[in-house]
Chains A and B, each alone.
Chain A
């Protein structure tokens, strides 16, 4: 019992640290990759290759003045950044990052909690994340924030449906809601190590997941809630200092979360090719997560922002029917 408590506490602390570190260096990656995609250098001054840029940004944000406008609703205004950040972290509780292993005599399961409704847990905590944005928009007492909050809540409600439905196809195939079992079912000993990945059986489901995940995390080209040209900063216009950076970290934690979930469900989780079995499983997992993150940044550099009515029409009239169709076809395929 005691050993179990110690090993899970260690896992929790390590995972949180890795996620926060990942958030910080995602900003570095984003600026660097965007820079090079636009024929610029990106950050170069702070440390080699600008590697200390996240540190300097963090210090700067901590020492900025914390400005609270007069017209805010104090309680919800304070609560909002926390509410947008915590659910993103909770997602990582069910993500299997490695096989079972032991370290300094302690047994680790490779996942904080092997919940048998892991996929549902992900959706439950993701669906709570929208409150942070809504409350921020509402409590700021500013028109730009309110518009940003309204837009984002409409957007997230609309895309959450397709987001949830895009995974149902995989669930039908795998017959389980547990993330670790999903990973186990995608393992393969053959030379074609990716033959069991669900991306091959569910290509449409994967595309839908990818699209809806971007909309869920409010990233370009679906970043209407913070469209600078129309709404100044959107829902976080009135936030400054650490309150603002909590939103910022929350956004990147959300990106990492959907990347991890996508890698686990569609790309085989921590499974790697058997002939490279000396590479630790967690490395394969991180590579797959990196691919997702790179793809997001690439998209941001490539596509212009949607118009709001295009965004809603795309969600309801394209993605949603496609998700339903995907479930129907998968169901028929499994039945016959």
Chain B
């Protein structure tokens, strides 16, 4: 076993631990922190597999931006872990709770099995080609072979942004304050005067 393999398995274990602890916490901030731990550990896994770019982007986008927003919202609502966030299960939520994990596990088993049985034909287990995981090779694939999915994702995100702006604007007329980020609140009532 090389050092790389050891580091890979340690970070994989940390990632799994963080993900488990995330759902086992009652305190939402602790959940977010464990999720960040899990994400950073996953990034290390990617780096150990040679996908440097994916690892870096995982940290920048998820750990560095999206989770900050999660934390931000939790702080705005000032949840400190004492609130009971869930009521008793309804039949619908119980069915979903049971069904979704079963489906996910089935999917996982299918992928892992196919990786081993069809390794020769799909090349999943084959050694990566030169330049694998570097920015240039990822970009080349994104802008040639996967151009349509890439552009469609971009349009989807654009729609989501427009939707978010529209929803935020509607709230603006209803009530002052609300949960808007500082800008919108202070935009309406400029404090004026000198600083």
Point out residues on A near B: beta carbons under 8 Å: 73, 75-76, 79, 115-117, 120-121, 123-128, 130-131, 134-135, 137-139, 146, 149-151, 153-154, 156-157, 160, 164, 177, 304-305, 307-309, 312-313, 316
State which of B152-160, B168-176, B182-190 sits at the interface with chain A: B182-190
Cβ of B68 and Cβ of A130 under 8 Å apart?
yes
Interface size class of B (residues with CB under 8 A): 20 to 34
If A76-B29, A123-B56, A309-B186 are given as contacts, then 14 extra A-B residue pairs at C-beta distance below 8 Å, sorted by A number, are A117-B56, A120-B57, A123-B60, A127-B60, A134-B72, A137-B75, A150-B76, A153-B68, A154-B72, A154-B183, A160-B65, A308-B182, A308-B186, A313-B187
Cα–Cα, bound, A157→B182 (Å): 13
Cβ of B195 and Cβ of A153 under 8 Å apart?
no
The interface residues of chain A lying within 8 Å CB-to-CB of B134 are: 116
B135 at the binding interface (Cβ < 8 Å): yes
Scoring B residues 19 to 37 as 1 if CB is less than 8 Å from chain A, else 0, what string do you get?
0000000000110010010
- Distance of B147 from chain A, by nearest CB (Å): 18
Cβ of B135 and Cβ of A177 under 8 Å apart?
yes
Contacts between chains A and B (CB distance < 8 A), count: 100
A312 nearest in chain B by CB position: B183
Can you offer 9 A-B residue contacts whose CB atoms are under 8 A?
A: A76-B33, A123-B60, A124-B56, A134-B71, A135-B29, A151-B182, A153-B75, A309-B186, A312-B183
Cβ of B135 and Cβ of A117 under 8 Å apart?
yes
Query: Max chain B CB contacts within 10 Å: which of A79, A123, A137?
Result: A123
Cβ of B60 and Cβ of A120 under 8 Å apart?
yes
Cα–Cα, bound, A304→B194 (Å): 11
Cα–Cα, bound, A130→B65 (Å): 10
The interface residues of chain B lying within 8 Å CB-to-CB of A79 are: 33
Whether A150 contacts B68 in the complex (CB less than 8 A), given A128-B59, A131-B36, comes out as no
